[in-house]
Amino acid sequence: MTALELARGPLTEGELDDWYAVPDDADPGARWVRGSFIATLDGRVTGPDGLSGGLNEGSAGDHAAFGTQRRWAQAVVVGAGTARSEGYGPLEGCLLVVVTRSGKVPESLRDHPDVLVVGGDGDEVTPARVLEAVGERGLHRVVVDGGPALFGAWVAAGAVDELCLTVRPVIAGGEGPSLLPADVRLPELLGRATHLLEWEGDLLLRLRLGA
Ligand SMILES: NC(=O)c1ccc[n+]([C@@H]2O[C@H](COP(=O)([O-])OP(=O)(O)OC[C@H]3O[C@@H](n4cnc5c(N)ncnc54)[C@H](OP(=O)(O)O)[C@@H]3O)[C@@H](O)[C@H]2O)c1
């Protein structure tokens, strides 16, 4: 069982950068892939508005963690579904990678030097293909921003080293997308939490998925 680090927020920006540093036992120059999500206690990833914005509203901890992930990331990978519904634009200081089968990518993300669109010929895009394209650019700190369909494919392929998950203490109930599609399971998570930060009632977890 991994040792669990515990803390209570608020943390400063510098403390957050330390809190979210890649683990000491990981090769410092090697690639590290981090999934980043916010969910309710029952695992729903959208609020009443059908978007993640309805979940993270009012969560100072999640906003701080999100900002930390953005400072850390050299590449942010997102499914075209999330890029469309959440209105993604190019990101400051890191590459945005949009994964698509259909090629239906918002106009603002086409032909932009800081955006890489992978796929579009109707076929599934493997994580290996994305990671190769990102690696060719010398980038190795990768955040997978979702959504569930994309994250499911990456978990199924064993391509995610860790999950950074904000759990809001609310039950959504009813229907709605959850963290993973129905046919994908995370590896056994018991003993896999390495960090737990409590911040105004929200629980910010780091869970190690890879070896
Ligand atoms: N709570 C959170 O942290 C969080 C994070 C992200 C998203 N969300 C929510 O999740 C919902 C979207 O869910 P979703 O599962 O539809 O999102 P998604 O995975 O972003 O979008 C699915 C689409 O992405 C592309 N895609 C995904 N995996 C692919 C693969 N392996 N190969 C090729 N293309 C692939 C396809 O695009 P094409 O259709 O273009 O072929 C697919 O239709 C939204 O409501 C969003 O707000 C929540």
In angstroms, what is the span from residue 5 Cα to ligand 1's centroid? 31
Is a pLDDT exceeding 70 seen at residue 199? yes
The identity of residue 36, as a single letter, is S
Tokens of 173: 């109930």
The pTM for the full model equals: 0.97
Distance separating alpha carbons of residues 195 and 203, to the nearest angstrom: 10
Chain-wide mean pLDDT for the chain?
A: 95
Do residues 20 and 194 touch, judged by C-beta distance below 8 A?
Answer: no
Query: Which pLDDT tens digit goes with each residue over 97-140?
Result: 999 999 999 999 999 999 999 999 999 999 999 999 999 999 99
The domain locations on the chain are 31-37+54-173+193-211
How does DSSP classify residue 117?
A: E
Atom 24 of ligand 1, residue of closest alpha carbon: 79
Backbone angles phi, psi at 89, to 5 degrees: -120, 175
| Best mutation site among 78, 100, 178 for ligand 1 pocket (most ligand atoms within 8 Å of CB) | 100
Cα atoms in the Cβ-side hemisphere of radius 13 Å centred on 5: 14
Which residues 6+ apart lie within 8 Å of 30 measured at CB?
140
Task: Find out whether 115 and 62 touch, Cβ atoms under 8 Å.
Answer: no
Confidence of residue 30 (pLDDT cuts 50, 70, 90): very high
- Using DSSP, state whether 55 is helix, strand or coil: helix
Q: Are 77 and 146 in contact (CB under 8 A)?
A: no
| CATH of range 31-37+54-173+193-211; options 3.40.50.1950, 3.40.50.720, 3.20.20.480, 3.40.430.10 | 3.40.430.10
